[in-house]
Each structure stands twice: as C-alpha cells, then as structure tokens.
Amino acid sequence: MLKKISVRNVKLGMYLQEICGSWMDHPFWKKSFELTDPKDLKMLTECDIHEVWIDTEKGLDIESIVVGLSEEESQKEIDLKLQEAAQSTAKSIPRISVHEELEQARKVHGKAREAVTLMFQEVRMGKALQLDGISSLVDEISLSITRHPEAFLSLSRLKNKDNYTYLHSVAVCALMIALGKQMGLEQTVFKDLGMAGLLHDIGKSLIPDAVLNKPGRLSDEEFNMVKTHPLRGWEILKGSEGICQTAFDVCRHHHERVDGAGYPDKLSGEALSLFARMGAVCDVYDAITSNRCYKVGWEPAEAIRKMAEWQEGHFDNTVFHAFVKTIGIYPSGTLVKLKSTRLAVVIEQTEKNLLAPIVKVFFSTKSGTQLQPKIIDLSHSGDSILNAEDPQKWGFDLTKLTVI
C-alpha cells in the first residue's frame, strides 16, 4: 500500500516509492529504493523535501499514531487543485493556427539552440557575455509565442541528455514569455522575461560536466556544487554589460521557494519577486519533463499533476494557476485515452476548456489497431478524456504523431 508521509516520519527500513519534489531539490537519482543507509536518511531530512511516498508492502510502515495520506486521497486533492486552476480566469490571446506558426517556430528554435550553445561555451572559456544577437533572438521568440505559443513550446520539448542544458534555457525563455502573456503583464516586460529565461542557468557553465551529467547519485560535495550555480550565474551577469534587473533576479532566485526552503538566499513570501516566482515554475516544469542522463523525464500531464501535488510551499498559487492555463492540464504532446476507448495525442489547447483540448485520434484500444488519424476538438465533441497514458506502455513515438 502506498502512503504519503512527512519526511520527519521517515525511518530506516522504509521503502521510498517516490520523493515528492523536483529532482533538482535532492541528490537521489533512483525513483524507488529501500532506505538502509543512515547517510541517505540524513541527506533526505536536510534537503528541500517535505513529503515522500512509501510502499508499506516492501518496507516498514509508519506508526499507527502517525497519519499518512492514501494514493486515492492524494489523487482527489490533485484533481481539486487542477480544477481550481482550470476555473480561474484565462486571458484570451488572439493567435494564428499552430500549423501556420510551426515552420517559422522551427527556424527560430534552431537559431536559439545555436546561439545559446555558443554563449555557454564562450562563458566556459572565460569570455564575457555578448548579448547583441541574444537580444534580437528573444524578440523573435516573443513574436513566435504571440502568433501561437504551442508551436514553439512543443519544439522546446525536443531535447536530449547531451543538449539539455542549452535547450532548457531556450525552453524556459519561451515559457516565461508565454506565462507573462497569460498573466496579462505589460508588453514592455516580455523581453526582460525572455532574457531572464535564457540566462537563468548560465552559472551551470562553470559546473563540471562530470557532475552535471553524472548518471548516479551525487555526493554531498557534488550536490552542494550544483546548488552554487544561481550565485555563480549571478556573478557572471554582474561582470557583463546590458543585463536587465529581471535577469539578475531570476538567475539568482529561480530555486527559491515561497516557504523559504529554497536556495541560495532562503527568501520567502513577499521577499520573492513576481518574476522569480515565475522563473521557479517554468524552470521546474521544463526540467522534470526532460530526459536526463540519470532520469527519464515525466510526461507533461504527469508533470503538471506532480507539481500540483507539491505546489503548497513550493510555488506561488496565482503563478501556478496561470502556468496551468498557459500549457494546459493535458499539455500538447500528451497521450490520452478517450471515453470512446480510442487513443489520441493532444495537439492544441482550447481557450475555454482546459479539459477539452484539440487532439489527434489514431488508435483503437478495443481492436488494438491503428486508425486513420483524425483531428477532433473535444470542446465541440461528445467524446472526452478519461486519463493520460504512458506512451512507453503502448510503444508509441509521439513525435511522429504531433505537429512536430
């Protein structure tokens, strides 16, 4: 039986099924393991994690006087949180079709990949940041997001363990701009948001690749080294010209949490700027949906549910709701099962209903056969989504089925 318990109630002999938080907040690379090493228990209690899931059939249970949350209870809580986000007011943004924007978005994404890769390499060699080309690139990304955000955001998911660091910066840039537009921020701040996204992880250029790409558990020393990247990035920006204040702020504070348990400055509440709160949400989402050398990324819909589960204390509530509005409860690229027993991949969100996106139907689970692909707007259909599915379970490569 799975139970969610507080970290303070964890003891040796328990089987940790899942740690409730982004894997950037802890050094454990395994998803599930029996807790047998006192050093691991000490590290778990000292990192920025509040709760874990335990499997009482594989390890020790909690004491009877301690209350644990069942899996069913937890899922109901997550559903309520996402329904709350879905019902919050969304900003209506005029846009062209995702198909019209895709080709232009590909060109901009390609340019961004090359520019950010070069930027990181030059900083690694001790050269100063050159922002002339980067600045105009942010303008192009912002225009693509304005024309249709899901074209560029879908492309941003196409990264691997080798180019993750570079393309993560591009993705966070786009997510920051899209989130800012959804929140109705002034047009004048979009460029600063984009620059902040591109530069937020520049400090990782000074962290050895052997540590960033280590396939196993990080040592205490290695984990603490990785956690220096916000301050190291902030120092790099201080030595460069033309850096906006938003970029300084997000670079230094994107790993802070609203409960004060983040790093490096342990800021909380109103001490955290709106832009730092936005950066935290965008950074975590792209990180946990990306494949890394030590962990396979979560599918987009699963990632949103995970973030909703440990949202309290981690993210600003208003910002998180706006983020869900930005990418959807079933983000583009999500494999879903419909009530009609067909499988479909989410293509695009509909503005009025986050639970009824536009999907491409392509497979019958009843007959186990491929169907002629068909685009359906679920907001104008009698069909609806039952649940998200794991593509690996079905053996599908979704990049061949989406607009990508």
> Which tens digit of pLDDT belongs to each residue from 100-153?
888 999 999 999 999 999 999 999 998 888 887 888 999 999 999 999 888 899
Indicate the pLDDT class of residue 400, thresholds 50, 70 and 90. low
The answer on pLDDT for 65 being more than 60 is: no
Q: What does the pLDDT average to over 226-231?
A: 95
Indicate the pLDDT class of residue 308, thresholds 50, 70 and 90. very high
**Least confident residue range of 23-32, 165-174, 213-222:** 23-32
The answer on pLDDT for 281 being more than 80 is: yes
Indicate the pLDDT class of residue 91, thresholds 50, 70 and 90. low
The answer on pLDDT for 89 being more than 80 is: no
Q: Of 163 and 236, which is predicted with more confidence?
A: 236
Which residues, at least 6 apart from 79, have a Cβ–Cβ distance to it below 8 Å?
none
Point out which residues pair with 69 in neighbouring strands: 4
| Three-class DSSP labels, the chain | CEEEEEHHHCCCCCEEEEECCCCCCCCCCCCCEECCCHHHHHHHHHCCCCEEEEECCCCCCCCCCCCCEEHHHHHHHHHHHHHHHHHCCCCCCCCCCHHHHHHHHHHHHHHHHHHHHHHHHHHHCCCCCCCHHHHHHHHHHHHHHHHCHHHHHHHHCCCCCCCHHHHHHHHHHHHHHHHHHHCCCCHHHHHHHHHHHHHCCHHHHHCCHHHHCCCCCCCHHHHHHHCCHHHHHHHHHHCCCCCCHHHHHHHHHCCCCCCCCCCCCCCCHHHCCHHHHHHHHHHHHHHHCCCECCECCCCHHHHHHHHHHCCCCCCCHHHHHHHHHHHCCCCCCCEEEECCCEEEEEEEEECCEEEEEEEEEEEECCCCEEEEEEEEEHHHCCCCEEEECCHHHHCCCHHHCCCC
Q: What does the pLDDT average to over 264-285?
A: 96
The answer on pLDDT for 404 being more than 70 is: no
pLDDT of residue 76: 79
The answer on pLDDT for 344 being more than 70 is: yes
Q: Of 161 and 149, which is predicted with more confidence?
A: 149
Indicate the pLDDT class of residue 369, thresholds 50, 70 and 90. very high
Q: Of 246 and 66, which is predicted with more confidence?
A: 246
> The whole model's pTM is what?
0.86
The answer on pLDDT for 260 being more than 80 is: yes
Q: What does the pLDDT average to over 214-235?
A: 89
pLDDT of residue 142: 95
Is residue 166 within 8 Å of residue 180, measured between CB atoms? no
The answer on pLDDT for 311 being more than 70 is: yes
The answer on pLDDT for 361 being more than 90 is: yes
Q: Of 232 and 157, which is predicted with more confidence?
A: 232
pLDDT of residue 90: 55
